[in-house]
Structure 1
Amino acid sequence: MRQSTAEHYRKRLDVLFDYIYEHIDEDLDMATLADVALISPYHLHRVFRGIYGSSLTETIKRIRLHNAADTLINADLSMEDVAKQAKYTSVQSFTRAFSESFGMPPARFRREGDHIQFSLTPLNTEESIMHDVTIRHADGLTLIGYEHKGDYMNVGQQFEKLQGWLVSKGLITESTRFFGVYFDDPESVPVDKLTSLACVLVENADGFPAEDDMRKYTIHPSKCAVLRYKGPYANMDAAYKWLFASWLPNSGEKVGFQPVFEEYLNDAHQVPQTELLTDIYIPLES
């Protein structure tokens, strides 16, 4: 069967995303990216924007800043080294770009970001209001998407591919719901062994035109603890630590037998990192 033009370009951009994530710490000039994607450099930007709704340059910038935020949280590099790793020529230009996306300069983010606020916030105080957890019954979910092996920080690679695939098939609408499923504890499982899924919710799995490399996963109806998290994905590990170390032992609840999962309520292509909304679900015993 002859593939559509949209499908052709989507597959080329899948290859491009693999290359970008594997070489994100290197110089990514447009001529090289065009060669990797086998798309004319005169048209690569237009094709990319047509499928993803944002520019290739902005997407690379967003991935690099996301990685920079993770570095600020988890590594003791100087600000000069973090800026250089993110491919900025000066700390000043890096600070401007980071502040625009994260709502605060990188030095302040390192000192005061949500990864700090969650670790300092005790239970049963006025400050804990910002971490409201609700108990709700979650309906069963049928999810289909791409499996990711490795650092959860890079699961966005599979979400980019999933979004491109949905666009190429004409399956994405305003009501499309995206989920991530996380099977392992990154504190106890080696990074290269971590498994997650970048998924879309489907109503009729049998009628959904999934491809062979996609995986179906069912989340059964269950009682869940739900934390609505607002802010950068790079900070979310702190939210998980707070949930399991502070909230859960004092909640009277016990974890269930399904993995944690997340629903992404807005689009990282469209809103600043500070405005990202994510519902974190921890399945509980009924």
Structure 2
Amino acid sequence: MRQSTAEHYRKRIDVLFDYIYEHINDDLDMATLADVALISPYHLHRVYRGIYGSSLSDTIKRIRLHNASDTLINSDLSIEDVAKQAKYTSVQSFTRAFSESFGMPPARFRREGDHIQFSLNPLNTEESIMHDVTIKHADGMTLIGYEHKGDYMNVGQQFEKLQGWLVSKGLLTETTRFFGVYFDDPESVPIDKLTSLACVRVDNVADFPLEEDMHKYTVHPTKCAVLNYKGPYANMDAAYKWLFANWLPSSGEKVGYQPVFEEYLNDAHHVPQTELLTDIYIPLES
């Protein structure tokens, strides 16, 4: 069967994403990226924007700043070195770009970011009520998407591919709901063994054009603790630690038998990191 033009370009952009994530700390000039994608450098930007609604250079910048935020939280690397790693020519230009996306300069983010407000003494139950957790019943649903192996920080690679696939099939609408399923505890499983799924909710499974490399996962109806999280994805590890170390012991609830999952309520392509909204679901015993 002849491949549609949209499908052709989607597959080329998938190859490009693999390259970008593998070489994010290298110089990524547009001529090289066009060669990798096998798309003319005169048209690469237009093709990419047609699929994702944003520019390729903005996407690379966003991924680098996302990685920089993780480095700031989890290492003692100097701000200057973090800026160089993110391919900024000066601390000043890095600080401007970081502040635009994260609402504060990198030094302050390291000192005062959302990860700090979640890093509380698990025995201090008074502090543990500062974040609203709702107990609700989650309906059963079918999720379909791509598996990701490795650091959860890089699951965005599969979400980019999933969004491109949906666009190529004409399936991306205003009602499309994106979810991530996270099967392992990153504190106890080696980083290269972590398994997650980048998914979309599917209501008409029988009519959905499931492809060979896609995975189907069923979330069974269950009681859940839900934390509505606002802010950068890089800070969410601290939110999970707070949920399990602070909220859970004082809640009287017990965790259930399904993995944690998240619903992404807006699009990282179109809002600053500070405005990202995510519902974190912890399945509980009924």
Shorter-chain TM-score tier: over 0.9
The equivalent of 2:106 in structure 1 is: 106
The equivalent of 2:52 in structure 1 is: 52
The equivalent of 2:225 in structure 1 is: 225
SS for the counterpart of 2:185 is: coil
- Contact 2:134–2:225 (Cα < 8 Å) also in 1: yes
The equivalent of 1:30 in structure 2 is: 30
- Contact 2:121–2:246 (Cα < 8 Å) also in 1: no
SS for the counterpart of 1:145 is: strand
The equivalent of 1:43 in structure 2 is: 43
Counterparts of 1:86-97 in structure 2 under 5 Å? 86-97=86-97
SS for the counterpart of 1:34 is: helix
* TM-score computed with the length of structure 1 as normaliser: 0.98
SS for the counterpart of 2:119 is: helix
Counterparts of 1:172-191 in structure 2 under 5 Å? 172-191=172-191
The equivalent of 2:271 in structure 1 is: 271
SS for the counterpart of 1:40 is: coil
Counterparts of 1:192-207 in structure 2 under 5 Å? 192-207=192-207
CA shift for structure 1 position 124: 4.5
The equivalent of 1:163 in structure 2 is: 163
What one-letter code is carried by the residue in structure 2 that aligns with 1:157? Answer: Q
Find the aligned partners of 1:163 and 1:275 in 2 and give their Cα distance: 20
CA shift for structure 1 position 204: 1.7
Counterparts of 1:121-140 in structure 2 under 5 Å? 124-125=125-126, 128=128, 130-140=130-140
Counterparts of 1:13-24 in structure 2 under 5 Å? 13-24=13-24
The equivalent of 1:7 in structure 2 is: 7
Find the aligned partners of 1:253 and 1:85 in 2 and give their Cα distance: 43
* TM-score computed with the length of structure 2 as normaliser: 0.98
CA shift for structure 1 position 120: 3.0
Find the aligned partners of 2:131 and 2:237 in 1 and give their Cα distance: 14
Alignment pair present for 1:68 and 2:68: yes
What one-letter code is carried by the residue in structure 2 that aligns with 1:12? Answer: R
Find the aligned partners of 1:145 and 1:261 in 2 and give their Cα distance: 14
What one-letter code is carried by the residue in structure 2 that aligns with 1:209? Answer: P
What one-letter code is carried by the residue in structure 1 that aligns with 2:58? Answer: E
Aligned residues: 285
What one-letter code is carried by the residue in structure 2 that aligns with 1:146? Answer: Y
SS for the counterpart of 2:111 is: helix
SS for the counterpart of 1:51 is: helix
Find the aligned partners of 2:235 and 2:141 in 1 and give their Cα distance: 26
Deviation sequence 1:236-259 (CA, Å, 0-9, x none): 000000000010011000000000
SS for the counterpart of 1:120 is: coil
Find the aligned partners of 2:108 and 2:149 in 1 and give their Cα distance: 32
Find the aligned partners of 1:224 and 1:235 in 2 and give their Cα distance: 21
Query: What is the percent sequence identity of the aligned residues?
Result: 88
What one-letter code is carried by the residue in structure 1 that aligns with 2:65? Answer: L
The equivalent of 2:118 in structure 1 is: 118
CA shift for structure 1 position 39: 0.1
Find the aligned partners of 1:99 and 1:29 in 2 and give their Cα distance: 24
Find the aligned partners of 1:131 and 1:149 in 2 and give their Cα distance: 31
Find the aligned partners of 2:111 and 2:45 in 1 and give their Cα distance: 37
What one-letter code is carried by the residue in structure 2 that aligns with 1:85? Answer: Q
CA shift for structure 1 position 129: 5.1
CA shift for structure 1 position 141: 1.2
Find the aligned partners of 1:182 and 1:69 in 2 and give their Cα distance: 21
CA RMSD, 1 decimal: 1.0
CA shift for structure 1 position 187: 0.1
CA shift for structure 1 position 121: 6.9
SS for the counterpart of 1:39 is: coil
CA shift for structure 1 position 128: 4.8
Could you list the structure 1 runs, at least 4 aligned residues long, displaced by more than 6 angstroms after superposition.
none
CA shift for structure 1 position 263: 0.1
What one-letter code is carried by the residue in structure 2 that aligns with 1:164? Answer: G
Find the aligned partners of 2:70 and 2:223 in 1 and give their Cα distance: 31
